[in-house]
Amino acid sequence: MNHQQTAETEAAIAKDSQLLEEIFKPVWEKVRKAGELIHQLQGENGRLNHKLADLERTSSQKIQSLEQDLTALREELLVREQELKKVRNENTQLIGDNGQHMFSHEEREILKERIRELIAKINSYL
């Protein structure tokens, strides 16, 4: 191989190398931008997963608290219903079978008002 052929070969290689560089330069730029976008999306995904975990934990705690409140209200309702039943039984015993009242008019009004209060409390929990 003579000097001219070597020079021509080197020139052809340099030209091919430059052509390949021009062809691949936009591709590499797109790959770089895609990598940056992937990195950005991974970070955002991590933040969203963290936020989701926080929301799940918070909602779980709120649900648990509401369930406890509901249980307490049901227990209180049962107590109030038992009180009401007791008062009704006492009222029935005091009235007697013949319909005559053992209470004075004023005592009956106080008893009616007490029953209304108990019913209102029960209804407020329902």
pLDDT tens by residue, 35-44: 999 999 999 9
Q: Give residue 126's pLDDT band: very low, low, confident or very high (50, 70, 90).
A: low
d(C-alpha 38, C-alpha 93), whole Å: 81
Q: Which residue has the higher pLDDT, 18 or 48?
A: 48
Q: Give the chain's radius of gyration (CA, Å).
A: 43
Q: Which residue has the higher pLDDT, 94 or 53?
A: 53
- Per-residue pLDDT at 6 exceeds 70: yes
Q: Which one, of 52, 110, 122, lies nearest residue 84 by Cα?
A: 122
Of 18-22, 33-37, 70-74, where does mean pLDDT reach its minimum?
18-22
